[in-house]
Amino acid sequence: MKAQLKRKQLLTVYQRLLEAYGAQNWWPADSSFEVMVGAVLTQNTAWSNVEKAIKNLKHADYLSLDKILASSDDDLAQLIRPSGYFNIKAKRLKNLCQWLMENGGESRLAEFDTATLRSSLLNVNGVGAETADDILLYAFERPVFVIDAYTRRLFTKLSLIEGNEPYEQLRQVFEIELEADVSLFNQYHALIVRHAKEKCLKSLDCRHCQVEGCKL
C-alpha cells in the first residue's frame, strides 16, 4: 500500500461521494434472503442482469429457500440465465440454501457472532470474501466493509492504494479506521458502486469529477 489509509482520508472521500450522489438506500431487495441470492448472482456481472434474473425467480415463484433446493439444476439455471455463468451460479445458490437449511435458517444464523458467521459463509462452495461480506453487511447487518473492484478502482485513482493489495488487508484497514458502523459501511459501499456507474462529463457540474478531481 502506498500509504496507510487514514480515517480523515476515508471520511473525506465518503463526504465527496455523499455530496455528489446523495443517499443510495442500497441493497435493493424485499427480504434478506433476496439479498443473499443477489449477492451470488452479482458475481462477475452487472446489477441490471441480476435484476432480470431475480425477476424471473419471483415470476416463477422460485425465490425461496425450499423452492430453490427442490428445483432441478437445469430449471434453476434457466431462470437465472440473465446473470451469466448460470450453471455455476445455480449450483452456488443451492450450496448457499443448503448452508442456510443446515444451520437453522436466518434467525438461527443471526445469533452467530460476526467472525463465526463469516467463517461459516466462507466455507460454502462458491462464496468468496466479497460475496460473504455482501451477505454479512446487507442481509445480516454486520459492520463488515465490502471490498470490490469499484473500491480498488476509486482509491487507486485517488493515489491512496496500489490496487493490488490483498482483500483482507484492505478490508481490515477500512474497518479499523472507520470503526464498526453498519449504516456508514452500507452507505459508503453503495456510493462507491454508484460512482463507478457514473460517466465523467468533463463539465463544471460533473459529479464524477467532484469525487476524483482533487487528490487527497
pLDDT digits (tens, 9 = 90+) for 92-132: 999 999 999 999 999 999 999 999 999 999 999 999 999 99
Q: Residue 10: its pLDDT value, please?
A: 97
**Longest Cα separation, the chain:** 55
Q: Residue 205: its pLDDT value, please?
A: 84
Q: Enter the C-alpha cell of residue 72.
A: 432441478
Assign residue 85 a region: left if phi > 0, alpha if psi is -120 to 50, beta otherwise? Answer: left
Report percent pLDDT > 70 for the chain: 99
Helices (H), 25-85: 32-41, 47-59, 65-70, 73-79
Q: Residue 1: its pLDDT value, please?
A: 60
pLDDT digits (tens, 9 = 90+) for 135-160: 999 999 999 999 999 999 999 999 99
pLDDT digits (tens, 9 = 90+) for 179-206: 899 999 999 999 999 999 888 888 888 9
Q: Which long-range contacts (CB under 8 A, 24 or more apart) does 173-179 make?
A: 173/1, 173/4, 173/5, 174/5, 174/10, 174/145, 174/147, 175/143, 175/144, 175/145, 177/5, 177/6, 177/7, 177/10, 178/7, 178/10, 178/11, 178/145
Q: Residue 67: CA atoms inside 13 Å, Cβ hemisphere, count?
A: 13
pTM: 0.94
First-to-final CA distance of the chain: 15
- The dihedral built from the CA positions of residue 208, 212, 214 and 216, taken in this order, carries a sign that is positive
Is 3's pLDDT higher than 60? no
Q: Residue 5: its pLDDT value, please?
A: 87
